[in-house]
A and B are shown apart, each in its own frame.
Chain A
């Protein structure tokens, strides 16, 4: 049976179609999920895509986090279902408290849009097993609220447990603590990051490389072997 990976569309999501395409290129079946439908339609994993759900009103991700589909996703994520949050999806994951910390306005107050180099720090999560620790990848980054923050105890815990999954290399684009670009929960099934792997899955577009594809092949492998 084909592996089914759901991609949620919130009002204001932008990158849901690219995420679906990435899922398909990796060999899985993308399933469009709608924010008002709490049914996950038998998907095996979920991607929360980038964009500006609810116009980033209140705080980025704050309103989407209370959508009917998120109630089910939060429940299933706690039971071990792989969930990947990209950009706005990462913001939804911190607002849901599936991942610790919070996202703040970039420290220089500019919207950033460019290719960003990242270092893989953890290759054991559901979404990163097709990478090597220490590997450097380049994927697009485009956001306004990308400054990851958390209290010092949480940061210490994330670092000690190897839960920083990606770090910005060469330049910190937003003032994120410890150059953190992405993190995981303790179980390794929930991963959130600000840069956009789904925009780097074909040589024709994006960075001209396919550095983002392993996210989607990683989860596929994990689901097939489990």
Chain B
């Protein structure tokens, strides 16, 4: 089975308080030198059939209409290597 990964991130201009909370916690745990953290979502889609152009086009459509809200989020679609 082929795997396609959709990564969804808040747009750069949108404030991400969850990422900020993670960033503030890092130095307390001894993880220094990290200037910024932004938190996103990763979707792993296992395809029943081959990853062809048509399948990828449908996944892009799903990402645009459902997995991401493009008012506030950007997304990328990629085929997982080694499948």
Contacts and interface: CB of A to CB of B under 8 A. Distances in A.
Contacts of B71: 94, 100-102, 150-151
Contacts of B66: 58, 62, 66
Which interface residue of A104, A108, A109 has the most chain B CB atoms within 10 A? A104
B69 A149 contact: no
Given A94-B71, A95-B69, A104 B14 contact: yes
Interface string B65-83: 0110101100000000000
A104 B69 CA distance: 11
A162 interface: no
Nearest to B68: A59
Contacts of B17: 105-109, 175
Contact of A109 (B21, B67, B72): B21
Say which size band chain B's interface belongs to: 10 to 19
Contacts of A150: 71
Interface residues of A, number: 19
Contacts of B18: 105, 109
Contact of B15 (A66, A107, A151): A107
B72 A149 contact: yes
Contacts of A100: 71
Interface string B3-25: 00000000000110110010000
Contacts of A151: 71
A151 B70 CA distance: 11
B72 A104 contact: yes
Contacts of B15: 104, 107, 175
A172 to B, nearest CB: 13
Contacts of A66: 66
Given A149-B14, A175-B15, A102 B21 contact: no
Interface of A: 58-59, 62, 66, 94-95, 100-102, 104-109, 149-151, 175
Interface of B: 14-15, 17-18, 21, 66-67, 69, 71-72
10 contacts: A58-B67, A66-B66, A94-B71, A100-B71, A101-B71, A102-B69, A102-B72, A104-B72, A109-B18, A175-B15
